[in-house]
């Protein structure tokens, strides 16, 4: 089996489960044109995020790592009209591209892109005592996943769902001797989940247009 087959299968699944969407396609195109890396979630992953957010009845969504706003658009569409999505991005240029894409998708009213290191922004949220989020998507730098988890748990309530992207990295995360900061970060993240009696988790490997990777899903109690 190879990546070409995974991609062909992904394309078949997306074709059978999704209808072409102008705003999402425009977001990818604008992101490529602006020189952003092609590391957004795949369309079927984006739809899964949207469905998980809907299933959890989310009214307040937090995203770490906006890039061009592709996953943001999927998630924001899960919200009721009075819902809110805050998405945190370190790179000003990414945030600019994302704002354009979000505007074109008609979602500027529910989405705020906040520029800065996500750790700083989250610390400010904790200090300010903002209301908890219902659904949280971790997708910024992988080496900071432990810091992100510690902070987002302080912005959660019983029932908050936390999804973390890229927790497999072509199987590299299984290597306990890895010196890759991303791998070390994801492994510490899993250690924290394992040690926390108030969080129940699973993690799933994926293959497809984005290669071999995976995501975790956690619920806070």
**Toward ligand DHB, which CB reaches closer, 72 or 166?**
166
From residue 10 to residue 39, the character string flagging contacts with ligand SAH as x (rule: CB under 6 A) and all else as - is -----------------------------x
206: number of CA atoms within 13 Å, CB side? 20
Please, what's the b/e burial string for 180-197 (b: 16 or more CB within 10 A of its CB; e: otherwise)?
eebbbbbbebbeebeeee
For the bound state, the minimum distance from the C-beta of residue 129 to Mg ion, rounded and expressed in Å, comes to 29
> Footprint of ligand DHB on this chain (CB under 6 A)?
39, 65, 139, 165-166
**Toward ligand DHB, which CB reaches closer, 132 or 213?**
213
Return the DSSP state at 41.
Answer: P
Residue nearest to ligand DHB (CB): 39
**Toward Mg ion, which CB reaches closer, 134 or 165?**
165
For the bound state, the minimum distance from the C-beta of residue 37 to Mg ion, rounded and expressed in Å, comes to 10
**What is the C-alpha to C-alpha distance for residues 93 and 98, in angstroms, rounded to an integer?**
9
- Angle between helical axes of 118-128 and 145-153 (0-180°, round to 10): 10
Structure tokens at 137: 């998507």
**Toward Mg ion, which CB reaches closer, 151 or 168?**
168
Please, what's the b/e burial string for 69-94 (b: 16 or more CB within 10 A of its CB; e: otherwise)?
bbbbbbbbbbbeeebbbbbbbbeeeb
From residue 111 to residue 140, the character string flagging contacts with Mg ion as x (rule: CB under 5 A) and all else as - is ----------------------------x-
Which residue bears the tokens 């903002």?
Answer: 130
User: Which residues, 141 to 180, sit near ligand SAH by CB under 6 A?
Assistant: 141, 144
Query: Rule CB under 6 A: is residue 94 a binding residue for ligand SAH?
Result: yes
**Toward ligand SAH, which CB reaches closer, 86 or 207?**
86
Strand locations in 9-105, DSSP E?
60-64, 84-89
Return the DSSP state at 15.
Answer: H
Judged by beta carbon distances under 5 to 8 A according to partner kind, the member of Mg ion, ligand DHB, ligand SAH, none in contact with residue 160 is none
Judged by beta carbon distances under 5 to 8 A according to partner kind, the member of ligand SAH, ligand DHB, Mg ion, none in contact with residue 94 is ligand SAH
Residue 147 CB coordination number (10 Å): 18
Judged by beta carbon distances under 5 to 8 A according to partner kind, the member of Mg ion, ligand DHB, ligand SAH, none in contact with residue 90 is ligand SAH
Contact residues for Mg ion, defined by CB under 5 A: 139, 165-166
């Amino acid at each position: 089996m190879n990546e070409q087959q995974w991609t062909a299968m992904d394309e078949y699944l997306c074709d059978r489960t999704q209808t072409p969407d102008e705003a999402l396609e425009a977001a990818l195109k604008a992101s490529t044109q602006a020189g952003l890396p092609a590391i957004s979630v795949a369309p079927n992953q984006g739809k899964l995020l949207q469905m998980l957010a809907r299933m959890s009845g989310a009214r307040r969504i937090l995203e770490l790592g906006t890039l061009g706003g592709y996953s943001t658009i999927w998630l924001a569409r899960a919200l009721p009209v009075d819902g809110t999505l805050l998405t945190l991005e370190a790179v000003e240029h990414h945030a600019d591209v994302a704002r354009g894409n979000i505007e074109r998708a008609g979602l500027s009213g529910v989405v705020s892109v906040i520029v800065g290191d996500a750790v700083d922004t989250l610390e400010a949220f904790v200090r300010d005592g903002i209301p908890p989020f219902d659904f949280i998507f971790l997708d910024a730098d992988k080496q900071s996943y432990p810091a992100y988890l510690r902070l987002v748990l302080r912005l959660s309530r019983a029932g908050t769902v936390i999804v973390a992207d890229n927790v497999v990295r072509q199987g590299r995360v299984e290597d306990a001797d890895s010196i890759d900061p991303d791998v070390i970060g994801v492994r510490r993240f899993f250690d924290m989940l394992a040690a926390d009696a108030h969080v129940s988790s699973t993690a799933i490997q994926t293959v497809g247009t984005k290669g071999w990777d995976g995501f975790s899903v956690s619920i806070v109690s």
